[in-house]
Structure 1
């Protein structure tokens, strides 16, 4: 291209040759010049909308000089507009040959939805649709029902992939299971598979979260576990199952052993593995029963404070005067969950000065010095068991429900 700044003037005429107009007007740079080329002294020129400079060009040439004028020469173009134009000139690898793939886009959107736990109704949000359209004008958009269906398809595909992986294992699978109770007092059984894959990597996958009808007898538990193993096609691959020491779990293991003895190693002799964390829990609960005096006083004081917004406010005012951060509410334990008791004690010790001043100002009963000393000893004692429980539970490994690592 032979482009130069023209200093002459002449009669302007519109260029009618579409073979020249079509390719040049597609370029981004034409937003800064007149939409039609003009003829001055027999030479075709583009006129800058901002400074009026006329740039000459031969037919079928590129727009490099036009871009250079916008990026460097013209002083009347706003700074933000110039920056935006320069950004469009920086092509990334493969950008020129990019073709929008709706199928790939939907696949990535499903993965994102599952990964960050986006609710389906967010996809009906008009601002989400406009955001997607600004990124890709040809994006047609998806609604919540479409995204729900796509997620179900993705779920079934991942589930089948995991099923194939488990069935193709040359090694045995160890299971862990526990019963949970929801806020609606409904019982659920969680079943997790632990195995070593073909690359000798230890994996754990939650393969079931099933409701269990009351009463939670050994037979009811055994039926849920057996049905799950059959669904996954791994009944003959089970080596052990770890459960707590409740009598219904022992009964469930006996029934599992009887029904699958021929497929089990050593005839199922080592099927039931007692949960070490549960054994620790029983030990700690026995010890807590002896040291309940100091704990009860702290629990009663915390319950008294958090039961009233005005008391929480009074507590926070004392905390701020003492140079400690305020609290939305102190931790109140669940008596049969000793780890929550440990958390309650440790927080109470941290705010010991505040609690003492609160009880003095509000004339409320408070643990004496000896009981505070005992509480500190109990907190240290429980801390050691909490670390041991975390080690037993392998809490650093997060199970992915029905999905790949």
Structure 2
């Protein structure tokens, strides 16, 4: 109720005039109908004849507005400004709203950001006429519209692809206690550029049986209208349920190479009793300093006193061998301060365990480099055999005790290691039982990699840069010819050259890089007269094999983009086999993007 009624009296709400309690005058209420009555004349009467009471009225009204939180009546300028606000469904307002939604989705911002004072002030400064929508409007309308548009765009690209590879994995959400199954597509487009997109992420309830995984994958492929004939290969982990599920699905599948590396490290090194005991003592030391601020403060003082770069000791996660290496490295880096600290506290490792951890760290270094190498976005199945070849050669040059133990353990557990045994010691010379499985896929991809295709001839013995077994090489070339026949195409009329050369891999390795160069140099210097060819004397496929390899830093897809007019069928075959990554890391690396882009969770 308005404070003006302290100075006026009416008999009923329908009275068209009010009596002034001060001068007893009758003041019109501004109309003759109840719906048109107001207090404007009453306030004007106070202002003209009773200034003191009018000032009291203004003070009382202002205090009431501040208490209730109501806004004062807008001025004429404010009314015009409000009238000029952008309509929510206008083109400019919709564009701004979409950008705000992209900011929330791509940068993983909370939806409540649209209600934050600082964000509101920023938008008000940038566009005063824009009205920020509520979080409910963005989550219920804007984001679903964006999702549909992106899905249509990806579906159009996927439909054009001749062959698609996938990565899939089951993982736990960081936000809620639930399991999620993700599916990421990889393909080579018409410009010979490797593309990747997260297609689906769905909640995966119940037991993770092979049948449940098969049904979920069937639904995902059906939702995206992807024919199984277009599926080149699916990268999954090495678990039995995943392997069985892909067999039941009726699509080719490969085990994650990074997972194989992880199993080799765990089974071959970290599970050894001596190494395990040393790691257990190392964890106790790290735990001591992490749980005692006083102890860590003393260690920091010793680091400064001994001129050692202050660094925190890292605790490892036992399921991630790379974190174990980082823990070992942090202990070795702080060895002198830890020795100085232990002179008072008697809390350090025996000398033999320090030596063992140093050897273990040295041994794990190439594995870490290789894991980074094959987990790059540009890595494909063509990198598996060359990477293994380089790793085995690098390790064979070392005389560390750990390597000798690994060799013995792998030899004693061939059944359990299966592909890991082949990976560690005989991956290049695959036995016949592997030719129709993972081995043949990786061999065909390697032959289509313009870096690793070169063949060498020494006397009467011929082989490739990474294939020393002629029987396996013959099977791989025969399989590649069969795959090429299935993808016969007509040469394109116009082929444009890419502007820039794409780097082959992200994060070049220092130790293994020299081994790769060494192997390729051997291939280049081993070429003999038998590699001289004449036009028409050898088929185009053999002609391709005899060409000099491109530099390792270049992307083989760039080579096929330049040569697809000359070798159209080979280029189409390469696009199929080089679209497959060698790990399922892409599926895990994109898990947050999966959640945001599909709306799962």
TM-score under structure 2 length normalisation:
0.45
- The answer for unaligned runs of 5 or more in structure 1 is 1-98, 258-267
The question of 1:141 aligning with 2:122 is answered: no
- CA distance, structure 1, for counterparts of residue 222 and residue 115 of structure 2: 39
Contact 1:180 1:189 in 2 (8 A): yes
Q: Quick one: which of 330, 342, 345 aligns to 1:347?
A: 330
- CA distance, structure 1, for counterparts of residue 173 and residue 96 of structure 2: 37
The alpha-carbon deviation at position 164 of structure 1 amounts to: 2.2
The alpha-carbon deviation at position 294 of structure 1 amounts to: 2.3
2:352 corresponding residue in structure 1:
370
TM-score under structure 1 length normalisation:
0.65
Q: How does 1:41-56 map to 2 (within 5 A)?
A: none
Q: How does 1:183-194 map to 2 (within 5 A)?
A: 186-194=178-186
The question of 1:157 aligning with 2:140 is answered: no
Deviates more, 1:181-190 or 1:212-221: 181-190
Q: Higher relative contact order by CA 8 Å / sep ≥ 6: 1 or 2?
A: 2
From the superposition, tell whether residues 113 and 391 of structure 1 become closer, same or farther in structure 2 (CA, over 3 Å): same
1:241 corresponding residue in structure 2:
234
The alpha-carbon deviation at position 230 of structure 1 amounts to: 0.9
Task: For residues 127-184 of structure 1, give each alpha carbon's deviation from its aligned partner in whole angstroms, at most 9, with x where no partner exists.
Answer: 3223322222222222322333312321221122112221232x11111122213466
- CA distance, structure 2, for counterparts of residue 116 and residue 242 of structure 1: 28
Contact 1:333 1:340 in 2 (8 A): yes
From the superposition, tell whether residues 101 and 334 of structure 1 become closer, same or farther in structure 2 (CA, over 3 Å): closer
The question of 1:212 aligning with 2:190 is answered: no
Task: For residues 363-382 of structure 1, give each alpha carbon's deviation from its aligned partner in whole angstroms, at most 9, with x where no partner exists.
Answer: 22x21233212211111211
- CA distance, structure 2, for counterparts of residue 319 and residue 297 of structure 1: 21
- The answer for unaligned runs of 5 or more in structure 2 is 1-89, 378-505, 507-585
- CA distance, structure 2, for counterparts of residue 332 and residue 137 of structure 1: 50
Count of residues paired in the alignment? 290
The alpha-carbon deviation at position 185 of structure 1 amounts to: 5.2
- CA distance, structure 2, for counterparts of residue 206 and residue 279 of structure 1: 24
The alpha-carbon deviation at position 220 of structure 1 amounts to: 1.4
Task: Indicate the SS of the match to 2:169.
Answer: strand
Task: For residues 203-258 of structure 1, give each alpha carbon's deviation from its aligned partner in whole angstroms, at most 9, with x where no partner exists.
Answer: 1222222222232111111111111111111143212111222111121012101x
- CA distance, structure 1, for counterparts of residue 191 and residue 300 of structure 2: 54
Contact 1:243 1:275 in 2 (8 A): yes
> Cα RMSD (Å) of the superposition?
2.5
Q: Quick one: which of 273, 289, 301 aligns to 2:254?
A: 273
Q: Quick one: which of 376, 381, 392 aligns to 1:394?
A: 376
From the superposition, tell whether residues 164 and 244 of structure 1 become closer, same or farther in structure 2 (CA, over 3 Å): same
2:119 corresponding residue in structure 1:
128
- CA distance, structure 2, for counterparts of residue 380 and residue 338 of structure 1: 14
Task: Indicate the SS of the match to 2:271.
Answer: helix
Task: Indicate the SS of the match to 1:188.
Answer: strand
2:265 corresponding residue in structure 1:
284
Deviates more, 1:225-234 or 1:292-301: 292-301
Q: Quick one: which of 383, 394, 399 aligns to 2:365?
A: 383
Contact 1:318 1:354 in 2 (8 A): yes
The alpha-carbon deviation at position 359 of structure 1 amounts to: 2.1
Q: How does 1:73-88 map to 2 (within 5 A)?
A: none
Task: Indicate the SS of the match to 2:373.
Answer: helix
- CA distance, structure 1, for counterparts of residue 119 and residue 246 of structure 2: 51
